[in-house]
Amino acid sequence: MLDIKLFRNNPDLIRENLKKKFQENKLPMVDEIIELDKKLREAIVKRDALRNQRNSISKNIGALFAKGSKEEAEEMKNRVTAMAEELVEMESLEEKFNAEIREKLLIIPNIIDSSVPIGRDDSENVEVERFGDPLVPDFEIPYHVDIIETFDGIDLDSARRTSGNGFYYLCGDIALLHSAILSYARDFMINKGFLYCVPPFMIRGNVVSGVMSFAEMENMMYKIEGEDLYLIGTSEHSMIGKFIDSFLDEEKLPYALTSYSPCFRKEVGAHGIEERGIYRIHQFEKQEMIVVCKPDDSPSWFKKLYINTVEFFRTLDIPVRTLECCSGDLADLKVKSIDVEAWSPRQRKYFEIGSCSNLGDAQARRLGIRVKNKEKGNYFAHTLNNTVVAPPRMLIAFLENNIDADGTVRIPTALQKYMGGKMAVSRSQ
């Protein structure tokens, strides 16, 4: 959510940003917000003037009664009553204008960083750097579900009967591998100095609207019927929500947190994509990174976060690349975003396994997350988030990059202690 002062002082910046994000349909809203803000300030000025007049007149009423000027005092009382009614009207207008302005501000996208490439959609995202050699073995790599089935590691049919499409049972060594990856990710981030957390898996509506845009909420969130609670789509939601309506001590910044949670997503519009697989599903688990920091520190934290993911995947012998999201592919709250993609030797291309985002002060403004500063005045914090790892999607990359011709899957050194010392897992006989 943008500062209303930006609309007063530099509306052209907002208009230019809308054009860069290919959201020209929102251009009229800039003038609408400016006009509403003008009406709001006029209502506030009139409200304050009425209060001052009322208070001044009220003080004289007693003196008039004491002098015996009863008729004049009664006239003054009637004026005060009329002012009170007008004051209620001004306060009602103030509340109305504030609500209308906020509703529109929530729809206007954040100002993107000047380094963001301009493009209409994800087809125009820009590769930044590759890590590791994207090799293709001299044997055919099966589809990931076929690999998992050779280990008796997945049961999709039973999951469809219990829960429907987009769910799964993981079993045996594959389930162990899934848990081992999450445990390793937890310890990897703790060793990076992040505080480990397990957050609530449900959040209230005001937190949802604070951490994401309405379009994202509609496409992602599952609502608990009859309650003001939503299942989280990522632990970022409840972890940023942890700081709602708070004043943070500047000396304690940054907060660098890593959190585990199950995640629940509708995946609206994604039906038909990898239906037989586990790439796009309604339920999964994830290890996340979250940072709350001073504005000047958010660019350096942004790079640290996505490099953490790169390092994590490289320790598991998985080649990755980083991809800069273009303006049209950025969600409305984001200032800048980089996707981390893993190499798929079966498909001979990279696919997304995580996303790192700098949201500037957008979430902090929506949620009221301020930093205390006596000299310069309080200000809004910056928030960032990034995926460490999200199995079972990560299993696809892991299996394809660590499978041998005989179907055995190698266990990289970093993961072996989480797999009970196993150096490899072999298919079921």
- The residue among 302, 169, 285 whose CA lies nearest residue 232 is 285
What burial letters (b/e) apply to 370-397, b meaning 16+ CB within 10 Å? bbeeeeeeeebbbbbbbbbbbbbbbbbb
| Tens-place pLDDT, residues 188-213 | 999 999 999 999 999 999 999 999 87
d(CA 53, CA 407): 85
- The predicted model gives 100-118 an average pLDDT of 95
Q: How confident is the model at residue 392 (pLDDT cuts 50, 70, 90)?
A: confident
% of the chain beyond a pLDDT of 70: 92
How many of the other CB atoms lie within 10 Å of CB of 31?
Answer: 12
- Between the alpha carbon of residue 171 and those of residues 129, 151, 277, the distances in Å are 36, 9, 15
d(CA 426, CA 52): 82
Token pair listed for 205: 């509506």
What is residue 83's predicted lDDT score, i.e. its pLDDT? 75
- The predicted model gives 260-265 an average pLDDT of 95
| Tens-place pLDDT, residues 140-192 | 999 999 999 999 999 999 999 999 988 999 999 999 999 999 999 999 999 99
Query: In degrees rounded to 5, what are phi and psi of residue 349?
Result: -160, 170
What is residue 334's predicted lDDT score, i.e. its pLDDT? 96
Dihedral angle of Cα 238, 216, 35, 95, to the nearest 10 degrees: -40
d(CA 123, CA 105): 28
What is residue 116's predicted lDDT score, i.e. its pLDDT? 98
The whole-chain average pLDDT of the chain stands at: 91
d(CA 263, CA 94): 40
Cis omega before residue 392 (within 30°)? yes
pLDDT at 297 exceeding the cut of 90 = yes
pLDDT at 390 exceeding the cut of 50 = yes
- The residue among 187, 186, 311 whose CA lies nearest residue 261 is 186
Q: How is the chain split into domains, by residue range?
A: 4-105, 122-425
Query: In degrees rounded to 5, what are phi and psi of residue 142?
Result: -70, 165
pLDDT at 270 exceeding the cut of 60 = no
Q: How confident is the model at residue 287 (pLDDT cuts 50, 70, 90)?
A: very high
pLDDT at 275 exceeding the cut of 60 = no
| Tens-place pLDDT, residues 340-388 | 999 999 999 999 999 999 999 999 999 999 999 988 899 999 999 999 9
Query: Of the CATH numbers 3.30.1280.10, 2.60.120.10, 1.10.287.40, 1.10.3720.10, which one belongs to the domain with range 4-105?
Result: 1.10.287.40
348: left (phi over 0), alpha (psi -120 to 50) or beta: left
pLDDT at 403 exceeding the cut of 80 = yes
What is residue 277's predicted lDDT score, i.e. its pLDDT? 78
Q: How confident is the model at residue 273 (pLDDT cuts 50, 70, 90)?
A: very low
When comparing pLDDT for 340 and 74, which is higher? 340
- Between the alpha carbon of residue 45 and those of residues 7, 48, 117, 265, the distances in Å are 19, 5, 43, 46
Sign of CA dihedral 231, 360, 322, 176: negative
State the fold for domain 122-425: BirA Bifunctional Protein; domain 2 (3.30.930)
| Tens-place pLDDT, residues 49-61 | 888 777 676 666 6
Residues 6+ apart with CB under 8 A from 139: 405
- The predicted model gives 309-315 an average pLDDT of 97
- What 3-state DSSP class applies to 357? strand
User: How far is Cα of residue 316 from the mean position of the Cα atoms in its chain?
Assistant: 27
What is residue 393's predicted lDDT score, i.e. its pLDDT? 84
366, 106 contact by CB (below 8 A): yes
What is the DSSP secondary structure assignment for residue 212, as one 8-state letter?
S
